[in-house]
């Protein structure tokens, strides 16, 4: 259901409100961004109206409105790349010099504005005292002093964001919770069952939005994901947190049906099932991947769920690590040809192979001639795709 690279154009035939859903739209298959837009269109005045700069007309309907919303979101949403390029350099260097920008962004999105904490409304963020107090949690890796600094950065971030008339996804989520409380959670048609894939890319406050479209809390939800595959920047996720969310939030909802019984038995939350049989990857790759997970578990024991190692029925050799010397070009080492723009020959790269890099910035570091002859994708772009051979380029960032 969640795709961070979502395009609303693909869902232009689906109404932007749950109140307009009809039988013909089922089974309803949408991305998380489309879900947010539909929920926004079901709860009174749209969140996006306040960000319309006059170039867009959000009063349009159908396909044109989807185009307008997509354009507005692309222009106004603060994602991690925008946070890093447009916000981070302007913060007080005395505050940022000992902190990583990715850590700060994760704290803002997942904890300050995305966490589920008692006595804190879903339409608000944590105050300084509550946030600094999170350092006492067993899973916390930040001390009180670091959290004090992060909170100062957070306040500067919010001030700059308001001045720029921009928003992040957590602003939309908080606004949806606020309007759901005001409008009595009447969003239109109610679903019997909701299935969420790639749930590890959602914050707890985002997940809690699903309670507005499905009241079958005891057996109406299926969450699938892998905490070792979290690729959404700003998300800190564990499956145990979902169980806590259901007990503390979903089952406390006045409309919850968990008090109802079936054949005299009280309903309860289902156990978690670990699916550790991998049908897409051979054993050599899985062994390497598990070694990375083991390192993460050792240094960050509370940051991801501890699961049984994945197994495969397909034998395969472990990936080969090639390290070029400081005076060598890594791509020359791989393909045996010069990679400057004057080179007209680039052999040895087939349609079933891909070069993987971390992000768009790393992609630009790949020589232009290579990008003309080979498929170069970021980790985000390649997720879910299959290739026979994958080359992973480092550029000193892994």
Same domain, 128 and 141: yes
Q: Does 4 have pLDDT greater than 50?
A: no
> Do the beta carbons of residue 238 and residue 275 sit within 8 Å?
no
| Residues 344, 308 share a domain | no
Give the residue carrying structure tokens 């897409």. Answer: 280
pTM: 0.76
Residue at 311 is within a domain? yes
Q: What sign for the dihedral angle of Cα 366, 371, 374, 380?
A: positive
Of residues 274 and 5, the one with the higher pLDDT is: 274
pLDDT digits (tens, 9 = 90+) for 142-195: 889 999 999 999 999 999 999 999 999 999 999 999 988 887 767 777 888 999
Q: Is 322 helix (H, G, I), strand (E, B) or coil?
A: coil
Q: Does a structural domain hold residue 149?
A: yes
- pLDDT at residue 105 above 80? yes
Residues 86, 148, single domain; the answer is: yes
Residue 80, strand partner residues: none
Single out the residue in 164, 198, 215 at which a domain terminates.
Answer: 164
Last residue of a domain, which of 147, 164, 181? Answer: 164
Compute the distance between CA of residue 130 and CA of residue 135 in angstroms, rounded to an integer.
Answer: 10
- Overall number of domains in the chain: 3
Looking at the structure, do residues 343 and 288 belong to the same domain, yes or no?
no
Which pLDDT belongs to residue 2?
A: 41
Distance CA 264, CA 333 (A): 69
Identify whether residues 136 and 157 lie together within a single domain.
yes
Strands 376-378 and 353-357: parallel
Of 294, 319, 344, the domain-final residue: 319
Of the two residues 140 and 25, the one the predictor is more confident about is 25
On whether residue 236 sits in a domain, the answer given is no
In this structure, the answer to whether residues 99 and 159 fall within a common structural domain is: yes
Q: What is the pLDDT of residue 160?
A: 95
Domain assignment present for residue 6? The answer is no
Q: What confidence tens digit (pLDDT) does each residue in 232-249 have?
A: 565 666 677 777 777 777
- H helix and E strand count, the chain: 15, 7
- According to DSSP, residue 54 is labeled S
pLDDT tens digits, one per residue of 46-75: 898 888 765 545 455 555 667 777 888 888
Domain of residue 313 covers 284-319
Q: By C-alpha distance, which of 286, 290, 291, 276 is closest to 315?
A: 286
Report the C-alpha gap between 271 and 355 in whole angstroms.
39
Q: Is residue 57 part of a domain?
A: no
Bigger pLDDT: 342 or 352?
352
Report if residue 299 sits inside a domain: yes
> Which is more confidently placed, 85 or 110?
85
Say yes or no: 116 and 89 in one domain: yes
Residue 56 lies in a domain: no
The H or E element that residue 195 is part of is: strand 194-196
In a domain, 125, yes or no: yes
d(CA 28, CA 188): 15
Pairing label, strands 389-392, 376-378: unpaired
Which residues, at least 6 apart from 127, have a Cβ–Cβ distance to it below 8 Å? none
Grade residue 379 by pLDDT with cuts at 50, 70 and 90: confident
């Amino acid at each position: 259901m969640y795709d961070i690279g979502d395009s609303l154009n693909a869902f232009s035939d689906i109404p932007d409100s749950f109140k307009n859903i009809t039988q013909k739209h089922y089974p309803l298959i949408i991305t998380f961004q489309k879900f947010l837009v539909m929920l926004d269109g079901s709860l009174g005045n749209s969140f996006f109206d306040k960000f319309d700069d006059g170039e867009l007309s959000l009063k349009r309907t159908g396909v044109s409105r989807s185009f307008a919303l997509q354009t507005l979101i692309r222009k106004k949403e603060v994602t991690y790349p925008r946070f890093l390029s447009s916000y981070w350099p302007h913060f007080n260097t005395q505050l940022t010099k000992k902190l990583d920008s990715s850590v700060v962004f994760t704290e803002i999105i997942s904890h300050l504005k995305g966490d589920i904490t008692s006595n804190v409304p879903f339409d608000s963020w944590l105050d300084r005292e509550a946030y600094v107090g999170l350092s006492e949690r067993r899973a916390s890796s930040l001390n009180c002093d670091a959290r004090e600094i992060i909170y100062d950065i957070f306040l500067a971030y919010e001030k700059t964001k308001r001045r720029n008339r921009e928003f992040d996804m957590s602003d939309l989520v908080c606004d949806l919770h606020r309007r759901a409380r005001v409008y009595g959670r009447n969003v239109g048609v109610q679903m019997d069952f909701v299935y969420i894939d790639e749930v590890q890319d959602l914050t707890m406050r985002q997940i809690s939005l699903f309670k507005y479209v499905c009241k079958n809390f005891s057996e109406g939800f299926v969450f699938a994901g892998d905490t070792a595959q979290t690729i959404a920047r700003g998300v800190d996720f564990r499956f145990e947190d979902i169980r806590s969310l259901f007990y503390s939030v979903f089952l406390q909802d006045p409309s919850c049906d968990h008090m109802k019984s079936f054949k005299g038995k009280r309903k309860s939350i289902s156990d978690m099932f670990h699916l550790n049989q991998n049908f897409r990857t051979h054993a050599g790759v899985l062994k390497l991947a598990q070694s990375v997970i083991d390192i993460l578990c050792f240094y960050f024991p509370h940051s991801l769920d501890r699961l049984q190692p994945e197994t495969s029925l397909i034998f395969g050799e472990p990936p080969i690590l090639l390290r070029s010397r400081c005076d060598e070009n890594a791509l020359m080492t791989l393909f045996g040809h010069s990679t400057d723009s004057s080179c007209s020959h680039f052999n040895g790269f087939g349609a079933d192979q891909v070069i993987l890099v971390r992000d768009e910035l790393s992609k630009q570091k790949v020589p232009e001639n290579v990008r003309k002859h080979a498929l170069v994708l970021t980790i985000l772009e390649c997720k879910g795709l299959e290739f026979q051979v994958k080359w992973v380029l480092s550029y000193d960032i892994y």
